[in-house]
Amino acid sequence: MKKISLLFVSVIIFTGLVILQTAANAATDDPIDKDAGVKTYYDNSKIFISSKVKIELTEVDNVEPDAIFYKINDGEEQKYSAPFSIAEEGMQIITYYSVDKMGNKSFAKVLSFVIDNTPPEVSLNTIAPFVKTEDKIYASEFFNYQYVVKAKDTSSGIGFISYSVGNEADAVQKQYTEPFFLSSTTAPKINIFGEDRVGNSVSQYTRNVYDENGNLLETSTEDIAITIDNTPPEVTITPDKEFFVKDEKQIANRDFKFTVAATDAESGVKAIYYRVDDEENFMLYIGQDISFSTNGDHRIEAMAIDKVGNVSASKTLEFFTDTRTSTVNIKLVE
């Protein structure tokens, strides 16, 4: 246990109470009883308490105690009657002395406290390859979510930060020590709990959602909705003219131009890929017309990926391109 050495003064903290004894021979050398239930913190130079803690002054005298006087900072000196608390945050200096029954006045003593009534500032930062499309944040059911909790308390400091996963009342609270990862087929729900070193609890914290490049997509003091997009895009391959159909075969000529398009109802289309005829590799489709100048069977195969990584099945269009002219046979007939 840490000890505060103060000449002629001892400080005892009981439940809800700080006791300043004004007697020279104060009975204890163990000024802060941390097991007593009151959240106090001593950082080797300052005592931190919240305004919930009361300060009690007691007088001990060899014959007969009588009165205690005190003032807070530069306030009016008052006669002590009952334990009091200090509402104002920050460093507060209490000056106090006693007068015994025989009129002996003790030296004035001074003790300072830092009042901290402000809970830690906490943020829950979620990082994954999210995408924001039309004000909605999308994820895939295969995402791995990284969670980073940031907490700071500019006065007494952080007492503890913990978290639980899920909404159930009996969700296990774990101490937060370092960033953690969760994967889930739905966006996980995280709750944060915490206190500073004098017992001010975190009641509100900021949620930040970042994409994997560190771009902040949304910030809120409420939970941020994340929508799972597990539907791949729909791909279409369209000729600019109508095929001629013969023997159930679609026939085009060299003037036909083909375009590929894709739609995605949720996160949106990220890219379209295509290949023609017997090409092995898909290439990025950037909106150009595709046409064929050689006579014969042709095919266009296309696929698309949405912004959270859902890949569509490939779609194939098969047709015959006729580039050959017909011939005219001339014959004289009767």
CB of 253 to Ca ion, least distance (A): 36
Give whichever of 142 and 243 is closer to Ca ion, judged by the CB atom. Answer: 142
Question: What is the rounded CA–CA span in Å between residue 175 and residue 181?
Answer: 14
- Site for Ca ion contains 59 (CB under 5 A): no
Give whichever of 266 and 301 is closer to Ca ion, judged by the CB atom. Answer: 266
Question: What is the rounded CA–CA span in Å between residue 22 and residue 57?
Answer: 7
Give whichever of 36 and 265 is closer to Ca ion, judged by the CB atom. Answer: 265
Count of residues engaged in binding Ca ion, rule: CB under 5 A: 15
Smallest CA-to-CA distance from 321 within 257, 258, 241, 252 is with 252
Bridge partners (DSSP) of residue 99 are 67, 105
What are the structure tokens assigned to 307, written together?
A: 């912004």
CB of 155 to Ca ion, least distance (A): 4
Indicate the pairing of strand 109-115 with strand 206-210. Answer: unpaired
Smallest CA-to-CA distance from 32 within 14, 56, 16, 8 is with 14
Which one of the spans 2-10, 62-70, 237-245, 319-327 is the region binding Ca ion (CB under 5 A)? Answer: 62-70
Q: Exactly one of 72, 109, 237, 264 binds Ca ion (CB under 5 A); which one?
A: 264
- Site for Ca ion contains 195 (CB under 5 A): no
Tell how far CA 127 is from the center of its chain. 8
CB of 136 to Ca ion, least distance (A): 12
Residue 165 C-beta-side C-alpha neighbours within 13 Å? 14
Residue 177 C-beta-side C-alpha neighbours within 13 Å? 2
Give whichever of 31 and 199 is closer to Ca ion, judged by the CB atom. Answer: 199
Question: What is the rounded CA–CA span in Å between residue 331 and residue 16?
Answer: 120
List the interface residues with Ca ion, window 89-148 (CB under 5 A). 100, 116, 118
Q: Exactly one of 72, 86, 306, 319 binds Ca ion (CB under 5 A); which one?
A: 306
**Residues in contact with Ca ion, shown as a per-residue x/- string from 1 to 40 under the rule CB under 5 A:** ----------------------------------------
Smallest CA-to-CA distance from 237 within 315, 155, 123, 322 is with 315
Which one of the spans 3-11, 14-22, 54-62, 180-188 is the region binding Ca ion (CB under 5 A)? Answer: 54-62
Which one of the spans 143-151, 248-256, 258-266, 272-280 is the region binding Ca ion (CB under 5 A)? Answer: 258-266
Question: What is the rounded CA–CA span in Å between residue 221 and residue 213?
Answer: 22
SS3 35: helix
CB of 264 to Ca ion, least distance (A): 4
Q: Exactly one of 147, 196, 290, 303 binds Ca ion (CB under 5 A); which one?
A: 196
The DSSP symbol for 36 reads: G
Contacting residues toward Ca ion, per CB under 5 A: 61-63, 100, 116, 118, 153, 155, 196, 229, 231, 264, 266, 306, 310
